[in-house]
Amino acid sequence: MSRKPIIAGNWKMNLLKSQAKELFEGIKDYVKDYSAKELPTIVVAPVFTSLDVVETVACNCGCGGNKISIAAQNCHWENSGAYTGEVSVEMLKDAGCSYVIIGHSERRQYFSETDEMINKKAKAILAGGLIPIICCGETLEQREAGVTDSHIASQIKAALSGLSNDEIAKSVIAYEPIWAIGTGKTCDADEANRVIAMIRKTVESVSSSQAADSIRILYGGSVKPGTIAEQMSKSDIDGALVGGASLKADSFNEIIANTMKVACNV
């Protein structure tokens, strides 16, 4: 099965509106000369306050903006109500989002997000017609203790609990070893591919072989223009979730270009 690659930029808590607009325009300018078939699925995740300005630039006029999908970095699972500071899936859809990143290790670590909360978010995102990008990954201590696979399998089973096979098939998972995020240390591509193949087997164990074949599983953790080609050449790695290198149009566009060299036309 050939899965269309995804290159997703997680802008985290960075960029004011004017900077987000400039970055989005820099990506748009690069992709406008390529067809959707040539390009990977491109996703960018600005902060909530920049969703509007980015959506306005992502117009449908053929300038390339419509080749970039917009993601939110978080959501709440309820539609509306007394949840001060939260944003619902319906609101994100209204703001132009088609993806939502959930379970990022920074949210698990700093905001105490649990597997149960991530599962509720995944259900709400899919019910609202959006696509979850579900993050998982081990700490350095867990890796050194030899519990990487069991930890990740348990995160994945919890996140996907109660989802239908169709819902699982259209979801996205990002394997992000925590020790590789923002550290400049990339996980060895063969090892990332091994863990991602293990995640695919875990998905199969809770759904179907068809869903496991369809679901796109990304690698994240210090991805750079110089690492992506090797990562994308591996059998199970379907793309990348990129933090630091997504904050400059030049490096993000180079990641897109290097992905196209090895793994597009789907």
Interface pick for ligand PEP out of 181, 228, 255, 256 (rule CB under 6 A): 181
- Name the catalytic one among 104, 106, 113, 167: 104
103 binds ligand PEP (CB under 6 A): no
Q: Compute the least distance from the CB of residue 150 to ligand PEP, in Å.
A: 22
Give dist(CA 50, CA 54) in Å, integer: 6
Interface pick for ligand PEP out of 10, 74, 119, 207 (rule CB under 6 A): 10
225 binds ligand PEP (CB under 6 A): no
Nearest Cα to 260, choosing from 70, 64, 31, 62?
A: 31
Stretch in the footprint of ligand PEP (CB under 6 A) among 122-130, 188-196, 237-245, 253-261: 237-245
Sort 192 into a burial class: Cβ within 10 Å, 0-12 / 13-18 / 19+.
buried
221 binds ligand PEP (CB under 6 A): yes
**CA–CA distances in Å: residue 211 to residues 27, 84, 124, 201, 206:** 31, 36, 19, 11, 10
9 binds ligand PEP (CB under 6 A): no
**Which amino acid, one-letter code, is at 65?**
G
Tokens standing for residue 255: 């990641």
Active site residue 104: yes
Question: Which chain residues interact with ligand PEP by CB under 6 A?
Answer: 10, 176, 181-182, 220-223, 241-245
Which active-site residues does the annotation give?
104, 176
